[in-house]
Amino acid sequence: MKIGDKIQGVITGIQPYGAFVELENQTRGLIHISEIKTGFVENIHDILKVGQKVLVQVVDYDEFTGKASLSLRTLEEEKQAIPRRHRFTNERNKIGFAPLGKQLPHWISEAKEFLKDKKEEN
C-alpha cells in the first residue's frame, strides 16, 4: 500500500473524530472527520454507517504500525474537477513579453512628455 492508492473498505467503527475502516488488504485505517467530505460535518452518523462499504484514498501510511490515514474527501474533489475546455487563443505562440517590449519606447516618450509638461507648469 502506498499514498494515493484507492482501496475498498468497510466501516467498522465511528467516533466523534472519525471513522475506522477495515481495508480489503486487512489493514486498518482512520478517516478523520476533516477527510469525510468537503465542508463542515456536523454529525458523522448522518454520512457514514457501521458496515457500509466505502472506496477510500490513502493519505498517509505508517509501515511500522500498519495503520493508514484515509480520505473520502479527495475522491469527492476528483469527481468535481472541471475539465479544461478548449479556448481559441494564441497561447501556443510563445510570445512572452514581446508585445510589451514593442510598446516600451512609446511609453517612455509619453512619460517624458508628461513630466516635462508638469515641470513647466510649476
**Phi, psi torsion values for 33, nearest 5 degrees:** -55, -30
pLDDT at 106: 93
Beta strand segments in the chain, E: 6-15, 18-23, 28-32, 53-62, 67-71
pLDDT at 113: 93
State pLDDT tens for residues 4-44. 889 999 999 999 999 999 988 788 899 999 999 888 888 89
SS3 46: helix
pLDDT at 91: 60
Output the pTM of the full model.
Answer: 0.61
Looking at the predicted structure, is the pLDDT value of residue 86 above 80? no
- Please tell me the number of Cα atoms within 13 Å of 82 on its side-chain side: 3
Which domains are present in the chain?
Answer: 6-79 (2.40.50.140)
The mean predicted confidence, pLDDT, of the chain is: 85
State pLDDT tens for residues 63-74. 888 888 999 988
